[in-house]
Chains A and B, each alone.
Chain A
């Protein structure tokens, strides 16, 4: 049993676990491109592979989390870097600034109150409600919002991922059904409802849709951070 113990301690090193995460992510991208199936997002594939590996080797989540905290840290800088993306896409804002802010503002209010309303109606408890509230924003922002409002950051991220995958999957179909023509409207809706995962799908619709969707991630993130404390004060 000594060798078994040795193997486990080797497999729980930073080197092993970071290699595992990067490898799983690369495999996820490969499979996603190969299979062309929207539900099989690289992130989902990577997460399933990592969970499977941790279960198999009996490595605790807390150990895994600690060893891969460098990746976790990078969530912050990745949000900051969106500032550059926003700057790059500034041309799409011209003539549409007011409508973009109005649309995201409405969507933000509708999104927060409907997710809290429905979950509450179905008997979810309060820590679950505040973790659900930021589901439409990008993970790093959702985590800090959940943390600030008394939610559970890990749960918030899980909801963000579920929301992103669902919106990325059905978003284009719904927009077509609605007969939405404007490229700005399509991109804005995808990014506002389903953040980076929605944006990945919006890019497939076209360059303008993708760019506006990236912009929507930022605006939605800021608006949600500002509005959640107010909405929760009214609803909870």
Chain B
């Protein structure tokens, strides 16, 4: 667990460094995710080292959202001022994103998909 945390933090740090080198265009956490993925893919890092920590952390991501989401109360005024614009924009855009991704993948993807158990 601690070993996993160490590697996750190490890759986060490397990602932050790379992000700065690239002009902060892509968040360091995203680059850290890519670096970790490639380190695992090219067998530079044993998956077992990070498995436990990564599983616990990603399964409980919602917990880490709580403090920032509570920030809603500090922005209640801004939100209520543009309530309709915000609500409609999110509803329309979320549906369009969902539909376009599903249709493109359904048209272009390999079918039938083999393997994979039915859960």
Contact = CB atoms under 8 A, between A and B. Distances in A.
Given A84-B51, A178-B99, A124 B89 contact: yes
A189 B95 CA distance: 10
Given A76-B12, A208-B116, A192 B57 contact: no
A106 interface: yes
Given A87-B41, A154-B71, A115 B101 contact: no
B29 to A, nearest CB: 4
Contact of B85 (A79, A119, A136, A158): A119
Contacts, number: 343
B30 interface: yes
B32 A183 contact: no
Contacts of B34: 83, 222
Interface residues of B, number: 80
A78 B58 contact: yes
Contact of B33 (A86, A104, A110, A148): A86
A152 interface: yes
Main secondary structure of the interface of A (DSSP, over half): helix
B68 A72 contact: yes
Contact of A226 (B26, B51, B100, B103): B26
A5 interface: no
Contact of B63 (A25, A185, A197): A25
Residue of B55, B58, B88, B113 with most chain A CB atoms under a 10 A cut-off: B58
A12 interface: no
Contacts of A141: 27, 29-30
Contact of A65 (B12, B36, B71, B87): B71
B88 A193 contact: no
Given A47-B66, A158-B71, A184-B105, A118 B93 contact: yes
A195 B35 CA distance: 21
Interface in B13-56: 15, 24-30, 32-37, 40-41, 47, 50-51, 53-55
A84 B54 contact: yes
A90 B91 CA distance: 31
A113 to B, nearest CB: 9
Contacts of B65: 43, 75, 139, 157, 161
A57 to B, nearest CB: 13
Interface in B55-112: 55, 57-58, 61-75, 78-79, 82, 84-106, 108-111
A98 B104 CA distance: 11
Given A174-B99, A183-B116, A222-B34, A72 B47 contact: no
Nearest to B91: A166
